[in-house]
Amino acid sequence: MLRITNRANTGFKPVLFVQAALHAREYFTAETVTRFAEQLVAGYGTDPDSTLVIDHHDVHLLLVANPDGRKVAEVAATRAQRKNRNQNYCAAGTTTVGVDLNRNYAWNFGGPGSSSTPCNDVFRGPTAFSEPETTAITAWLRSVFTDQRAETSLGDRTTPVSVDAHGFYIDVHSNGAGNWFPWGDTTQLAPNGARMQTLARKLEFFNGYEAIQGALTGVIGGASDDFVFGTLGVPAFTMELGGSDFWPDCATYESSIAPGTIASLKFAARVVHAPYRVPAGPEILSVATAPGGSPGSVTITATVNDGRYGAGTGPEPTQPVQGVNVYAALPWSVSPPPPAIAAMTAVDGAFDEVEEAVTATIPAGALAPGRRLVYLQAVDSAGNPGPVSAGFVDIDPALLGNGFEPVGR
């Protein structure tokens, strides 16, 4: 497990968990999640949103969830290996040995889309959680996610989760090209299903993969996504990357798979404090800061947009932007939540459009000296708050109050 967070910050931190290569032959899922980690860390101190995520969120990345399967899949002759390598099942096979880990979870175990035949590629194993991989992963998930769903029993498909729940689970596969949300084992709409659809359509804006309830692509019992949402209450997605097969050429990968997928994971990392709520609200784009008009003041500008969604299944209403606040501390990082230090104004004089250019001037002394982040959050006219975005501002302690204007970044 690769865990990325600022250990010096010890307050509440919502969790993003991303898993790759549960199916061994889906090579580039591991590569993509690894690159996401590299870019996230490289952005610390230079990219404001990456810095926000590392300082205030907790990112858990399982880069290769099926390591012995992957080892076999890296040999050309056996690259079709999908399952784990449990020799108790189909031991005489070449790439048909083992258990399909994404049929081995306890949610609707034995259900549709799985097989009881050991040499089958979707062999589910003898019992739910018979495999060390699924057992260990689930123990980890239970240790890092707060259980926020009070299901009546395993298999309860109707009990909703609070819209203010936190956390986000993503299991990355290929090559179905979709952002799949629960339920995956029935076409019945999940509680929180409409909210998860909005979240999926937001991911689709970045990665281009269709936002769709998993079951509408084929029903599957025993998969990880339904189990995680059903028992822990965090939105639990299967992100199916694209490509013509499991082994796309490098040019296709570099141009059409990696950039969008990594951008969607970066978005996911930013919304884990309220993944059911903030995807419906306006995004803050292109935050910039500059010296203000009076000594020591800082001017902050941004573009705000409530309409960035993919074209996949289902609607998401877009509304005019209603307002934008600036905070000196993240609202969920301190208790009680801090008051805004400024309310931004619309550059054109009125908040009446889906996209607005906004500005605010922070007076001298409102921010402590040093390099620090300011946090922006917008709300639309339906009352939906959006994802928080950050911007850097540098305030030189030696010169503050001497008529020096701080340098904006």
Q: How many beta carbons lie within 10 A of that of residue 206, not counting itself?
A: 20
Output 175 or 325, the one with its CB closest to Zn ion: 175
Output 13 or 23, the one with its CB closest to Zn ion: 23
Taking the C-alpha atoms of residue 123 and residue 110, their distance in angstroms, rounded to an integer, is 9
CB of 173 to Zn ion, least distance (A): 3
CB of 290 to Zn ion, least distance (A): 47
The piece of 32-40, 45-53, 173-181, 400-408 that touches Zn ion (CB under 5 A) is 173-181
Output 210 or 405, the one with its CB closest to Zn ion: 210
The piece of 168-176, 205-213, 325-333, 374-382 that touches Zn ion (CB under 5 A) is 168-176
Listed residue (312, 331, 310, 344) closest to 387, CA to CA: 331
CB of 213 to Zn ion, least distance (A): 17
Q: What are phi and psi of 72, to 5 degrees?
A: -70, -40
How many chain residues touch Zn ion (CB under 5 A)? 2
**3-state SS class at 156:** coil
CB of 240 to Zn ion, least distance (A): 7
CB of 268 to Zn ion, least distance (A): 18
CB of 95 to Zn ion, least distance (A): 14
Q: What number of CA atoms fall less than 13 Å from residue 225's CA on the CB side?
A: 27
Taking the C-alpha atoms of residue 225 and residue 17, their distance in angstroms, rounded to an integer, is 12
In sequence order, what are the residues at sequence separation of 6 or more whose Cβ sits closer than 8 angstroms to the Cβ of residue 159?
Answer: 149, 150, 151, 152, 191
The piece of 172-180, 182-190, 326-334, 366-374 that touches Zn ion (CB under 5 A) is 172-180
Residue in the structure block whose two tokens are 């409530």:
306
CB of 215 to Zn ion, least distance (A): 16
The piece of 20-28, 38-46, 331-339, 373-381 that touches Zn ion (CB under 5 A) is 20-28
Helix or strand run (H / E) with residue 122: none
Q: Which of residues 360-379 bind Zn ion (CB under 5 A)?
A: none
The contact pattern for Zn ion, residues 40-69, with x = CB under 5 A and - = no contact, is: ------------------------------
DSSP state at residue 125: -
Token couple for 6:
């600022």
CB of 243 to Zn ion, least distance (A): 12
CB of 64 to Zn ion, least distance (A): 13
User: Contact with Zn ion (CB under 5 A): which of 13, 23, 70, 266?
Assistant: 23
In the chain, the amino acid numbered 189 is L
Q: What number of CA atoms fall less than 13 Å from residue 216's CA on the CB side?
A: 16
∠293-300-369 over CA atoms, to 5°?
Answer: 80
The piece of 17-25, 90-98, 196-204, 352-360 that touches Zn ion (CB under 5 A) is 17-25
Taking the C-alpha atoms of residue 393 and residue 275, their distance in angstroms, rounded to an integer, is 27
In sequence order, what are the residues at sequence separation of 6 or more whose Cβ sits closer than 8 angstroms to the Cβ of residue 116?
Answer: 110, 123, 124
The piece of 22-30, 105-113, 299-307, 312-320 that touches Zn ion (CB under 5 A) is 22-30
Listed residue (251, 340, 342) closest to 289, CA to CA: 342
> Residues 102-125, buried b or exposed e (16+ Cβ, 10 A)?
bbbbbbbbebebbeeebebbbbbb
The contact pattern for Zn ion, residues 277-316, with x = CB under 5 A and - = no contact, is: ----------------------------------------
Output 174 or 319, the one with its CB closest to Zn ion: 174
178: left (phi over 0), alpha (psi -120 to 50) or beta: beta
User: Contact with Zn ion (CB under 5 A): which of 13, 56, 173, 308?
Assistant: 173
The piece of 18-26, 34-42, 211-219, 329-337 that touches Zn ion (CB under 5 A) is 18-26
Residue 80 burial (CB < 10 Å; 0-12/13-18/19+)?
middle
Is the separation of the CB atoms in 85 and 69 below 8 Å?
Answer: yes
Is the separation of the CB atoms in 194 and 259 below 8 Å?
Answer: no
CB of 104 to Zn ion, least distance (A): 13
CB of 221 to Zn ion, least distance (A): 15
Output 69 or 233, the one with its CB closest to Zn ion: 69
Q: Which of residues 325-354 bind Zn ion (CB under 5 A)?
A: none
For position 25 contacting Zn ion by CB under 5 A, the verdict is no
The piece of 47-55, 169-177, 367-375, 399-407 that touches Zn ion (CB under 5 A) is 169-177
Output 71 or 409, the one with its CB closest to Zn ion: 71
Residue in the structure block whose two tokens are 């996610």:
145
State the residues that interact with Zn ion by CB under 5 A.
Answer: 23, 173
